Chain A
Amino acid sequence: MVNLRINNRELAVAEGSTILEAARTNNIKIPTLCHYPDLGIQSDCRICVVEIEGQKGLATSCSTIVRDGMVVKTNSPRVLNARKTITELILANHDANCTACPKNLSCELQSLANKLGIDENRFQSVLTLSPLDEGNPALIRNPNRCIKCGRCVDVCKNIQGVGVLELMGRSHHLKIVPAFDHCLSDLFCTYCGQCAAVCPVGAITEKDDTDIVWRALNHHDKHVIVQVAPAIRVSLAEEANMNPGTVCTGKIVTALKLLGFDQVFDTDFTADLTIIEEGNELIHRLTSGGVLPMMTSCCPGWINFAEQHYPEILPHISSCKSPQQMFGALAKTYYAEKMGLEPANVFVVSIMPCTAKKYEAGRKEMRANEDLPDVDVVLTTRELGKMLRQMGIDFANLAETPFDDPFGITTGAAAIFGASGGVMEAALRTVYEVVNGEPLTNLDFTDVRGLDGVKETVVKLAEKPYRFAVANNLKNARLMAEAVKAGTSPYAFIEVMCCPGGCIGGGGQPYGTITKTRLDRIKATYQVDAAMPIRKSHENPAIAKLYQEYLDRPLGEQSHNLLHTHYHARRGKPNN
């Protein structure tokens, strides 16, 4: 332990702590701006400066390690003046039109300025407006709001290992841009949206599609249906200021009905369907000498990454569409027929934790009817939160409603799709029982759960042990892809989820997602699973009925047409 004094309080803190950590564990508040708990220390904004006795300048508390006998003042007049001055400098070069910003009231700069009591800026505005980067379906970059904190660069380069964003130029010409100041769509951006998730201001946000949804909801010819991804039920509550990990499935259905959706469906249903198709594809590949290891295909960020960075390994990726797109395809065929509706009048909205899903929904391959997208609009968790606020819905106090049929029955296997390792676990529950013809004694494949980068398990299928792996985030996906490309991958099947922690940590999830938030959402996810009466996809009676009524059999012709897709190498610009 190290003994030091902060603001006349004697403290003992762990060796190697920073002053900021020491202060926070003792409930002493030091404001920060570029600092983000899961990322590296940038120490660029200089907001967290403190005074250390015997030291001339001010030191950033985020990067200064405590020493025995240190005397620190976090709120001296010198410190407060410095923080205020620095914030004014940032504001003088920031498009501070707060009420016209999607981050209004959740902006870290806005709240900092408020905390520091800034009511006028001594400095003249030096902002020169630059054009927005909005040439892609998922993300908008607004350089006029960027405060150059570097969080997006860090997450893209060091967490995801993609490195699309970089600092360019110097002095006040410094900007954070996709390489060579191109647009995101010109480069290998996967649209994972982790940059948008960590941006403290509104400089990178998802493309807001709520207006299109409002228009559809108010259009009397449209039959507007909505699907809700597995990860939304453990995160949407945060948009209503409830705790991370609050399960709110029934409230979501009620809320969506209040917004005016005709039918509210669960993407979990097509997650179960994915397991049937993907599980059978794996068994087929294993038994017929197919391309191995097989890799999952649910995550559109991963598909973008593979198509752009590893075109060589595309044959390894399962041809199954993602649950979102399986739902869309069925909605505009099976469901429309069943309801006697024109496919063109069925308007499909997805609520996804993800920004890359917006890109996926626009792909040309994702159309059961020509010129008609299977999924019309994808909204992130945050956009749904915005719609709830627009309608004045008191989410926390809503009653619970079950999902609508015919996609109403789902299983625990589908519920865990939202957590990294969930797809693998769901697939193993089915593949094991189908291949071995015996029930699993323990449904919990805990080896593949959690936040580790690469997770592994071994399962015996027809007496033979096979190795299965899960890659959590794109940096680890790259490791897997390299091995697959080199032909040295020892696995039969690999799950890849692009965002840290899986979809529960997706780029479209409520702001402020850190490791603790991820763990809370994961815990809730497995609680949902454990509470389900059915926990294996192949035991879902509604799925059996769907095959009986419409699809015939897994990997059959109808499945091939509606539920499977193909991939192609892409360089830079999306070619569809």
Chain B
Amino acid sequence: MIEMRLVSKRCGIINPLSIDDYQKADGYETFRKALARDKIKLIEEIEKSALRGRGGAGFPVHLKIMGLAKETGPVKYVICNADEGEPGNFKDRYLMENDPHAIIEGMLITAYMASATKGFIYIRGEYNHAYNTLEWAIAEARRLKLLGDAILDTEFSFDIELRSGGGSYVCGEEFALIESIEGKPGRTRVKPPFPTQKGLYGLPTLINNVETFATIPLIIKMGGKAYARIGTKSSTGTKLISLSGNVNEKGVFEIPFGVTIRQVIEELGHGVANGRKLKMVQLGGACGPIIPEYMLDMMIDFERFEEFESKTGAGAIIVIDDRFDIFDILMNVVGFFEHESCGKCTPCREGHQQLRIILQKFIDKTAGVKDLVSLESLARVMHQTSLCGLGQTSPTAIISTLRYFRDDYIDRMDSLIL
């Protein structure tokens, strides 16, 4: 089996609503021990583990924690980004619904390392069950003095507040999320300053993904070096994969980095459903690249994914069979981002509708060479100049299909039109 259940090892085994079950499965033990350890030593463990953020961008986690730890000042925030809005991603929901205390424990250890005082979990508006589960888990943790003032009778105080999103995709972007917590419309801010310098309410803030927090207790427990031995050189540890689309077995699977996409689809997903032929796979979600069948032997690895210039690291694999035309998928993707753009910066605000207009010409078979050039140029400009991750990654599907499925475009062009 290629699965390696470390972060998700308790999922489906313990009762997520029982803090006793969690503690019986060694839960909160790592945190209790960490409270007696030197903060810098703990951060060094994260550094040794080479853990990279699991939300998609893959930023080295220890740098963020170190950044927050260095900030002085009485109030510092730790935010768990649980606004899992990327289509095709549902691994954070899986963790929240099945092992909520692991996330809380990860936030506690992080807060302790960086001397943060207050935490928020910002949950996607549609995730009612996850919200209720975490709400209960937080109450249980407070009851056992694992959250609140003077935790476990130490000098460390930290509490977590839950916030529900309002259904906006862009609020998964860190600054839009911060604005949303502050009660403002979800529109990103200009960087710098970065959140660790000036985040929520203008104060130092660290934001990590759900899976990242859930991984931190594991690393502290097994040691950074041991963790780094799992996976590949550039991508250590394990990754939760959300597998969906036209496969026999859909779901969340945990694998060590280095497994190929084909292995995931065939061994874990048991192949394409209904005996159909695979046409393409979209990686990462709607914002990710669409690749052809012949690329499936690619390893799941941050370094390999970098060639797509996209935030592919959230670990979604969407399998699309030969019933579908690339333009069905592209119109769906572009329509989604056209709806979800916050409208703040020009390329993203004005670009999506123009992408849609040009794609429609291909669907209508009225596109000419100029349209192909304009589409390619616009997609690249949006990717290069948009203010936040939304507009930077939304054209990835177009950029990648122009590369790997160029014939599909050519077939749709009217040869008489320039």
Contact = CB atoms under 8 A, between A and B. Distances in A.
Interface of A: 41-47, 49, 56-58, 60, 63, 65, 78, 81-82, 85-86, 89-90, 92-93, 122-124, 126, 147-148, 167, 169-174
B354 A123 contact: yes
Contacts of A148: 343, 346, 349
Contacts of B168: 170
24 contacts: A44-B344, A60-B385, A81-B377, A81-B381, A82-B381, A85-B381, A89-B354, A90-B350, A92-B350, A92-B354, A123-B354, A123-B357, A123-B374, A123-B378, A124-B357, A148-B349, A169-B343, A170-B170, A170-B342, A170-B343, A172-B338, A172-B343, A172-B349, A172-B350
B309 A65 contact: no
Nearest to A126: B353
Q: Determine chain B's interface SS by DSSP, over half rule.
A: helix
Contacts of A174: 342-344, 349
Contacts of A171: 338-343, 349, 352-353
B346 A82 contact: no
Contacts of B190: 41-43, 60, 63
A445 B353 CA distance: 58
Nearest to A122: B374
Contacts of A44: 344-346, 387
B347 interface: yes
B342 A46 contact: no
A123 B187 CA distance: 26
A85 B345 contact: no
Contacts of A78: 384
Interface residues of B, number: 36
A481 to B, nearest CB: 26
Given A49-B384, A148-B346, A172-B338, 9 more contacts: A46-B345, A60-B190, A82-B384, A89-B378, A123-B378, A124-B357, A171-B341, A171-B343, A171-B353
Contacts of A41: 190
Most chain A Cβ neighbours within 10 Å, of B345, B357, B378, B383: B345
Contacts of B341: 170-172
Nearest to B309: A56
Contacts of B353: 126, 171-172
B386 A172 contact: no
Contacts of A92: 350, 354
A173 B343 contact: yes
B370 A167 contact: no
B298 to A, nearest CB: 20
A43 B191 CA distance: 9
Given A41-B190, A65-B192, A90-B350, A46 B343 contact: no
A551 to B, nearest CB: 54
B313 to A, nearest CB: 15
B384 A58 contact: yes
A64 to B, nearest CB: 8
Most chain B Cβ neighbours within 10 Å, of A42, A47, A171: A171
B392 A57 contact: yes
A47 B346 CA distance: 9
A123 B356 CA distance: 11
B376 to A, nearest CB: 11
A147 B339 CA distance: 19
Q: Which 8 A-B pairs have the closest CB atoms?
A: A174-B343, A89-B350, A171-B341, A43-B190, A85-B381, A57-B384, A170-B343, A46-B385
A85 B354 CA distance: 11
B352 A46 contact: no
Contacts of B352: 171-172
B351 interface: yes
A86 B346 contact: yes
B180 to A, nearest CB: 13
B340 A45 contact: no
A90 B357 CA distance: 15
B148 interface: no
A124 B385 contact: no
Nearest to A166: B185
Given A56-B309, A81-B377, A90 B384 contact: no
A127 to B, nearest CB: 11
A41 B344 CA distance: 13
A89 B192 contact: no
Contacts of B345: 43-46
Contacts of A170: 168, 170, 185, 340-343
A58 B385 CA distance: 6
B360 to A, nearest CB: 10
Contacts of A63: 190-192
